[in-house]
């Protein structure tokens, strides 16, 4: 470990992109550590040997971006299919298209509406509720989608996600909920979207396949941190609070549990992701991965599904979604102040920055960090050395 120019903690997108850039652009040596037994971080994919279907162990991952830079960069490591993600929500015995679009509105109200009629119905419901102002998540959601759609599609789902009545949740944990007054039912509106032809893990294998890059799996950074010397650059993509021994407290996260099932049918639900909005149904979603690759004609007669259950993360759980309360933000600011004492450590990625990042954002941030922080670190090195 001591002999590498750079030590990258975490083999997810943020760490892998930095490692690839350091090796290919600077010709410097990199050691990538991950405490898990695999590369890829949360984007890791593997073939389920019981069904032959490639599954995403940490939940369905769809690649989408508006960034030409990120899209062009990834083309070096994979081809993409033309997969377009569409999501459905089961509520009260019926199935609806998500995110809310004109088809959802017509189905929820049981009649055909023009875009203007739908807009007027929702605006009237929002206005009827909104007189007392926006005091909690429920008020904010109703202001966006009206009472009918909120009760049907949002209330129970949100309650399950947060294990909290939406009236007791702060309005600022959600943005404005989108409603499309067209029949456009694509989940993402980005210019580029697709699935990597041979899976996500293959992207990471190619990124890290360089003579200057070594990968050590099953290694926790904190078991080897005393071997780092001050001249080495560390890219740390683990949880920022753990780096500082939780000195200012634990940042809040939600986690999800996945219950895997293999079924003796070729198609369990007809789509990759179906949400379950009713509060009485204990899971929030069912993922069926074979639908992510309809082009894979060779798949057999069995299918793998994951039921997803959402809850607050305990100390030993995988952190998935930052809760980001005002107390969390204050704690994060204290940790940021502490980073100044570690000039050879760059913090990044979703855990290191305590931010929900989509894959394209993690990749884009890593490319920028490389350019603005990693390259200058070594440029300085050359001037002084």
Footprint of ligand FAD (CB under 6 A): 9-15, 33-36, 41-43, 58-62, 220-222, 237-238, 256, 320, 349-351, 357-360, 362
Min. distance of Cβ 286 from ligand FAD in angstroms? 13
Closest by CA to 364, choosing from 79, 78, 76, 67, is: 67
Q: Within a 13 Å sphere around the CA of 42, how many CA atoms are in the beta-carbon half? A: 23
Catalytic residue among 285, 306, 350, 354, which?
Answer: 285
Nearer to ligand FAD, 10 or 156 (CB): 10
Min. distance of Cβ 163 from ligand FAD in angstroms? 17
Min. distance of Cβ 97 from ligand FAD in angstroms? 18
Nearer to ligand FAD, 28 or 360 (CB): 360
Min. distance of Cβ 44 from ligand FAD in angstroms? 8
Nearer to ligand FAD, 105 or 365 (CB): 365
Q: Which two tokens stand for residue 157?
A: 């789902």
Catalytic residue among 72, 94, 167, 176, which?
Answer: 176
Closest by CA to 8, choosing from 150, 213, 148, is: 213
Cis check for the bond before 380: say yes or no (omega within 30 of 0).
Answer: no
Closest by CA to 5, choosing from 368, 339, 371, 381, is: 381
Catalytic residue among 79, 356, 371, 381, which?
Answer: 356
Catalytic residue among 190, 358, 373, 375, which?
Answer: 358
Active site residue 320: no
Distance CA 115, CA 122 (A): 11
- The dihedral over CA atoms of 338, 339, 341, 346, expressed in degrees to the nearest 10, equals 170
Active site residue 28: no
Catalytic residue among 20, 34, 308, 328, which?
Answer: 308
Nearer to ligand FAD, 36 or 180 (CB): 36
Nearer to ligand FAD, 168 or 257 (CB): 257
> Is residue 286 a contact partner of residue 274, using CB atoms and an 8 Å limit?
yes
Pairing verdict, β 63-65 and 192-194: antiparallel
Whole-angstrom CA distances from 68 to 65, 220, 360 are 8, 35, 11
Nearer to ligand FAD, 59 or 252 (CB): 59
Active site residue 176: yes
Q: Which two tokens stand for residue 60?
A: 């369905």
Min. distance of Cβ 122 from ligand FAD in angstroms? 27
Distance CA 272, CA 61 (A): 10
Distance CA 328, CA 170 (A): 13
Catalytic residue among 35, 57, 242, 254, which?
Answer: 254
Min. distance of Cβ 182 from ligand FAD in angstroms? 23
Closest by CA to 277, choosing from 181, 115, 182, 145, is: 145
- The structure tokens 């990120």 sit at 70
Nearer to ligand FAD, 346 or 351 (CB): 351
User: What phi and psi, each to the nearest 5 degrees, are found at residue 288?
Assistant: -130, 105
Catalytic residue among 180, 185, 241, 354, which?
Answer: 180
Min. distance of Cβ 217 from ligand FAD in angstroms? 9
Q: Which residues are catalytic?
A: 176, 180, 254, 285, 308, 356, 358
């Amino acid at each position: 470990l001591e002999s590498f120019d750079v030590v990258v903690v975490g083999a997810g997108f943020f760490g892998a992109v930095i490692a690839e850039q350091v090796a290919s652009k600077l010709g410097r040596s990199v050691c990538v550590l991950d405490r898990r037994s695999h590369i890829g971080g949360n984007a890791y994919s593997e073939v389920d040997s019981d069904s032959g279907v490639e599954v995403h162990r940490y939940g369905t991952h769809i690649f989408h971006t508006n960034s030409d830079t990120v899209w062009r960069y990834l083309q070096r490591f994979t081809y993409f299919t033309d997969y377009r993600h569409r999501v459905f929500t089961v509520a009260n015995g019926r199935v609806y298209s998500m995110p809310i679009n004109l088809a959802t509105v017509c189905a929820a109200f049981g009649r055909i509406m023009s875009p203007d009629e739908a807009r007027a119905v929702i605006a009237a419901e929002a206005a009827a509720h909104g007189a007392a102002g926006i005091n909690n998540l429920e008020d904010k959601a109703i202001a966006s989608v009206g009472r009918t759609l909120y009760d049907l599609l949002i209330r129970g789902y949100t309650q399950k996600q947060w294990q909290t009545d939406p009236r007791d949740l702060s309005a600022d944990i959600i943005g404005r909920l989108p409603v499309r007054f067209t029949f456009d039912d694509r989940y993402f509106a980005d210019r580029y979207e697709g699935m990597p032809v041979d899976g996500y893990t293959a992207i990471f294998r190619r990124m890290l396949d360089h003579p200057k890059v070594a990968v050590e799996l099953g290694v926790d950074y904190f078991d080897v941190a005393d071997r780092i010397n001050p001249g080495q650059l560390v890219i740390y993509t683990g949880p920022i609070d753990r780096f500082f021994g939780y000195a200012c407290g634990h940042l809040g996260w939600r986690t999800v549990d996945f219950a895997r099932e293999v079924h003796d049918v070729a198609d369990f639900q007809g789509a990759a992701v179906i949400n379950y909005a009713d509060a009485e149904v204990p899971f929030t979603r069912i993922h069926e991965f074979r639908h992510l690759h309809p082009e894979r004609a060779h798949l057999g007669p069995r299918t793998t599904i994951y039921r997803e259950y959402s809850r607050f993360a305990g100390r030993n759980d995988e952190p998935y979604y930052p809760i980001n309360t005002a107390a969390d933000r204050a704690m994060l600011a204290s940790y940021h102040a502490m980073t100044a004492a570690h000039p050879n450590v760059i913090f990044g990625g979703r855990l290191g920055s305590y931010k929900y990042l989509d894959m394209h954002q993690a990749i884009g941030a890593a490319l920028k960090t490389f350019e603005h922080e990693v390259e200058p670190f070594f440029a300085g090195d050359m001037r002084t050395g």
